Amino acid sequence: MKKIISIFLFLIVFTIVSVMILNSGSGNNTLYLLNWGEYINQDLISRFEKEYNCVVVEETVTSSETMYQKIVSNTTSYDVAIPGDYMVTKLTNEGLLKPIDINNPELPNLHQNDMFVDELVKIRDKYNFSDEYSLPYFWGAYSILYNTRYEETEKVIQENGFNALFNRDLFKEDVKIGMYSTARWTLSAYLMSQNLDPNTEDFDTQKIVSAIKSANIDVWGDDQLKRQTATGKLDLAFTQLGDFFDGLWLSLEEGLDVNENGETGLDALSFNVNVPKNTSAFFDAMVIPRTSKNYTLANQFINFMLEPQNAYENALAIGYCPTLNSVVNLYQEAAKNGKYYYENKENPSRSVSMQEFIDKYPVYLNPLVNSDIEQVTLFEPKTADYMTLCETIINQAKSNVATGSNTGAIICYTFTGVVSLSIVSYVSYSIYRKHRKKKNAR
């Protein structure tokens, strides 16, 4: 019995110690990465593990806010995280990040001259971002993904930007509209549709609720919006550029680039993207949280991911816009050398050259390339109260729309109830009359 108890106690102690070691990150051969889902080339992780004789433990989330909560809770010793721009600001201001070792001569990719594309640098400078605490990973701009089945759609979007999402009167056709369920994105899209700064807090809440309600959004969703637009179930939807290019690749894989006339290639696809004149850019950046127990390995990982060839392969795999000038150069070099963006060996006519790709979509290498762009902002960090207000606005707009769409059902239920009550009343009255007749007969 004592032997059994000893073994049992040993197992308990072993389990506790193992959990403590995993959570502390004290092992110098383990890197804890906090990332978005499907947002890194797994082949690169394998190569990094082999090159540095380590293990990368990746945890994925669906929002920058969740990243923030996980870092603040300090339950896991994250060594590298990849939050959105406004969350980088929040983490920096609250002292939750360690400085990146940008002056280390053994890590040359952390301190190259003119390493990031000019437009991204201008935006980062405007909002006072420093390479000391964050180095951009991917970037892009908020956009409108649209289907081309109606000739008017593209023209309406080009002339009206985000307002096309909220004003059905601009269209002759009965278009189907999609919107992300992310509350702040929806509110920001509406503010930009009115040529307002998406960071403003000076607005009429009820007016916005009414405006979003009147838009009669057909589908509230997330990643599925890109597929629904590509296949014609939606005509336009709010999106990020990266989602469009991800959807583009998937469409090529699924053969959606073959139209009813037998034509193939990018021109045969029935969807496209537009970056409005008044938009907001975004970037995700690699940072080292204060939770890191493996500072050296964290810097080595960031340096590895910023190595031009690695960053190029990462961009090809993920589809988001590259931040490095060196990677832009590699795309252009690949185009000159006749490389493929998408290669179909079974049906070569469906292959897409790199030159075709960057000619068709110049916004990939420069999301702000359009000469008619008038205003570009970044989302700024907001308080919890503001984020709650965003949720309240969108939930009210959704519930109002839902109520309107269920009017027929409500009428049906009411009618059924009235009929049922009438039948019950009639049967009860009939029984009462029969009972009374029998009583009188006696």
Read off the pLDDT of residues 185-225 as tens digits, 9 standing for 90 and up. 999 999 999 999 999 999 999 999 999 999 999 999 988 99
Judge if 124 and 26 occupy the same domain. yes
- Domain assignment present for residue 85? The answer is yes
pLDDT tens figures, 217-248 = 999 998 899 999 999 999 999 999 999 999 99
Statement: residue 438 has pLDDT above 60: no
Judge if 294 and 269 occupy the same domain. no
The region of weakest confidence among 274-288, 292-306, 365-379, 423-437 is 423-437
pLDDT, greater one: 86 or 427: 86
**280, amino acid identity:** S
User: So what's the pLDDT on residue 305?
Assistant: 98
Judge if 54 and 162 occupy the same domain. no
Of 284, 259, 269, nearest in space to 379 by CA? 284
User: So what's the pLDDT on residue 426?
Assistant: 52
Query: Band of the pLDDT at 417, cuts 50, 70, 90?
Result: low
User: So what's the pLDDT on residue 410?
Assistant: 42
Q: Could you tell me if 187 and 393 are in contact, meaning their C-beta atoms sit under 8 angstroms apart?
A: yes
| Averaged confidence pLDDT in the chain | 87
Please state the separation of Cα 122 from the chain's center in Å: 23
- Domain assignment present for residue 31? The answer is yes
Rg value, the chain, Cα:
28
User: So what's the pLDDT on residue 420?
Assistant: 53
Judge if 78 and 162 occupy the same domain. no
- Separation CA 274–CA 244 (nearest Å): 10
User: So what's the pLDDT on residue 26?
Assistant: 44
Mean pLDDT of 14-29: 49
Judge if 235 and 276 occupy the same domain. yes
User: So what's the pLDDT on residue 374?
Assistant: 86
Query: Band of the pLDDT at 404, cuts 50, 70, 90?
Result: very low
Query: In sequence order, what are the beta bridge partners of 135?
Result: 286
Q: What is the CATH number of the domain that holds 220?
A: 3.40.190.10
Q: Which domain holds residue 151?
A: 140-281+346-403
- Domain assignment present for residue 49? The answer is yes
- Separation CA 39–CA 362 (nearest Å): 22
Judge if 78 and 153 occupy the same domain. no
Statement: residue 258 has pLDDT above 60: yes
- Domain assignment present for residue 442? The answer is no
User: So what's the pLDDT on residue 441?
Assistant: 42
For 229, counting Cβ atoms within 10 Å of its Cβ (0-12 exposed, 13-18 middle, 19+ buried), the class is: buried
Judge if 195 and 276 occupy the same domain. yes
Token output for 177 = 């509209």
pLDDT, greater one: 55 or 399: 55
Other CB atoms within 10 A of residue 143 CB: 24
- Domain assignment present for residue 431? The answer is no
pLDDT above 90 covers a percentage of the chain that reads 76
Statement: residue 35 has pLDDT above 50: yes
Judge if 254 and 353 occupy the same domain. yes
- Domain assignment present for residue 422? The answer is no
Q: Report the b/e string of 129-139 with b at 16+ CB within 10 A.
A: bebebbbbbbb
The region of weakest confidence among 145-149, 286-290, 338-342, 343-347 is 343-347
Q: How many domains does the chain have?
A: 2
